[in-house]
């Protein structure tokens, strides 16, 4: 059994401009809004399958094409090329600590736009891998009620300081922490236990600041784990999903849908 995949069938695309940045945004569905930020190298078939799953569960999904070629399958060369571009793009600030990333301002504008066009109390934002932390940074905006951080990898965890960094500036984190403490914001974080790209120290920082409002799902990927996850297991909601009850990544995907439903409807 392999991970779910899909193509661009059923998705419409139009450019959206926010905070001085313009990207094509792929939209589909009806119901409460969810901004699904793609992982590297872009809107690949696994991301589209996740988008379709959210649509099938009653959400309007908007996927901004921040990098890569929409619909293109992943290959090692394609991944390396897009990560290389992402590392030097100022809007992502892939190496910086205590940093407000310009792309977060674009994502907040997109979240507000989606919130205005969809029913529900607010919108969800799902970030993955390179974009995992962008979901929580988007929650500075009041329109975002359900941020999901799946294996957040920026800033790249090369030093102890980078591993601890929450992926946003202190001023942004302070706003999010205040929303969690005083305005009923909740966030969901996902990672594999052995994933060095999404270090446990990052979740420790977020747990210390957000407390019980930050729900963590950590899937065992250590040696000899019962579900056979490899030591390089990384993409919780795409590559590692097998649609079998009890499979931890599949159960995590179920929890994401449940979380979005609880928070937005």
| The pair of three-digit structure tokens given for residue 45, joined into one six-digit string | 């078939």
Q: Give SS3 for 33.
A: strand
Residue 2 lies in a domain: no
pLDDT class of 44 with cuts at 50, 70, 90: very high
Q: Is 4 exposed, middle or buried (0-12, 13-18, 19+ CB in 10 A)?
A: buried
Neighbours of 13 (CB within 10 A): 14
Residue 228 lies in a domain: yes
d(CA 47, CA 233): 16
pLDDT of residue 260: 98
Are the C-beta atoms of residues 162 and 184 closer than 8 Å to each other?
no
> What would the pLDDT profile of 219-231 be if each residue is shown by its tens digit?
999 999 999 999 9
CA distances from 241 to 36, 84, 227, 264 (A): 17, 26, 11, 24
pLDDT class of 191 with cuts at 50, 70, 90: very high
Residue 1 lies in a domain: no
Residue 171 lies in a domain: yes
% of residues, the chain, pLDDT over 90:
99
> What would the pLDDT profile of 97-138 be if each residue is shown by its tens digit?
999 999 999 999 999 999 999 999 999 999 999 999 999 999
| Three-state secondary structure readout of 171-189 | HHHHHHHHHHHHCCCCEEE
pLDDT of residue 167: 97
Residue 4 lies in a domain: no
pLDDT of residue 154: 97
pLDDT class of 24 with cuts at 50, 70, 90: very high
Q: Which of 16, 33, 41 lies closest to 103 in space, CA to CA?
A: 16
Q: Give the residue numbers spanning the domain of 244.
A: 10-262
pLDDT of residue 113: 98
pLDDT of residue 7: 98
**Looking at residue 97, which CATH number applies to its domain?**
3.40.50.1820
Residue 213 lies in a domain: yes
pLDDT of residue 141: 98
Sequence-distant (≥ 6) Cβ neighbours of residue 183 within 8 angstroms: none
* Mean pLDDT of the 163-170 span: 97
| The pair of three-digit structure tokens given for residue 223, joined into one six-digit string | 């040696």
pLDDT of residue 203: 98
Number of domains in the chain: 1
């Amino acid at each position: 059994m392999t991970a779910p995949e899909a193509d661009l069938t059923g998705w419409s695309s139009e450019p959206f401009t926010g905070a001085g940045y313009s990207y094509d945004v792929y939209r589909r569905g009806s119901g409460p809004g969810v901004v699904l930020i793609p992982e590297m190298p872009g809107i690949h078939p696994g991301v589209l399958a996740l988008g379709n799953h959210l649509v099938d569960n009653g959400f309007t999904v908007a996927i901004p094409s921040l990098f890569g070629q929409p619909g293109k399958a992943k290959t090692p060369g394609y991944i390396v090329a897009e990560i290389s571009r992402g590392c030097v793009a100022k809007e992502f600030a892939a190496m910086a600590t205590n940093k407000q990333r310009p792309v977060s301002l674009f994502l907040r504008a997109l979240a507000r736009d989606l919130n205005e066009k969809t029913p529900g109390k607010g919108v969800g934002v799902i970030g993955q891998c390179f974009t995992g932390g962008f979901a929580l940074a988007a929650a500075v905006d009041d329109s975002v009620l359900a941020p999901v951080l799946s294996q957040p990898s920026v800033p790249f965890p090369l030093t102890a300081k980078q591993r601890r960094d929450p992926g946003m500036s202190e001023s942004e984190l302070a706003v999010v922490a205040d929303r969690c403490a005083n305005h009923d914001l909740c966030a969901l974080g996902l990672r594999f236990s052995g994933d060095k790209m999404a270090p446990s120290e990052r979740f420790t920082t977020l747990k210390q600041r957000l407390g019980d409002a930050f729900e963590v799902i950590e899937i065992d990927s250590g040696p000899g784990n019962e579900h056979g996850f490899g030591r390089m297991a990384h993409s919780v909601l795409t590559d590692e999903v097998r649609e079998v009850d009890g499979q931890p990544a599949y159960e995590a995907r179920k929890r994401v849908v449940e979380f979005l439903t609880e928070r937005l409807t």
